[in-house]
Amino acid sequence: MPTVPVRTAVWRGWRKRCPQCGQGTLYTGWARPVNRCGVCGLVYERNQGDTWFFTIMGDRLAIGVMIGLLYFGVHRSRPVVFLGAFAAAVAFVILTAPNRWGVGTALHYLARVHLDDADDPTRPTDAAGSLTSGTDGPSSRE
């Protein structure tokens, strides 16, 4: 499978789709994660916690907006504006959580592709079931 451009993989993650093929789902229901893509077989998280960094950073950016609203004193000068902005930020954090987590999974996938780890279970295997050498690079991933 050819290398997926960064923009495409991130967009697929935002849509909660497999960052590699764009067809498989990342979640069942609202946010129950799936272990691997049902279409291309990509293992989303090789080890438990692999995507935490990307997920936490995505969460912190949204929460940082709420902290900024409090820190800069919007609540003192315009309480109605503060309540509206704070409610919008809370709604954004809650409603886009699976989308942001999908972006985290896509960023983790991109890191795996560009690091070209020989132990990655998404690497192509030969007929005997053993991993092929890394000479083909990320463009031959399945």
Residue 37 has pLDDT above 80, yes or no: yes
Residue 1 domain flag: no
Please, are residues 66 and 89 in contact by the beta-carbon 8 Å criterion? yes
Q: In angstroms, rounded to a whole number, what is the distance separating the alpha carbons of residues 68 and 104? A: 23
The verdict on residue 136 lying in a domain is no
Residue at 141: amino acid letter? R
In sequence order, which residues have a C-beta less than 8 Å from that of residue 14 and are 6 or more positions away?
Answer: 99, 102, 103, 106
Does the residue 134 lie in any domain?
A: no
* Residue 133 within any structural domain of the chain: no
Spatial neighbors of 107 by CB under 8 A, at least 6 apart, are 9, 10, 13, 54
Mean pLDDT of 125-134: 43
- Residue 46 sits in which domain range? 6-125
pLDDT in tens, 46-59: 878 778 888 788 77
Would the pLDDT of 126 be above 50? no
Mean pLDDT, residues 106-124 taken together: 74
User: Average pLDDT for residues 77-101, to the nearest whole number?
Assistant: 84
pLDDT, the chain, mean: 77
How many domains does one find in the chain? 1
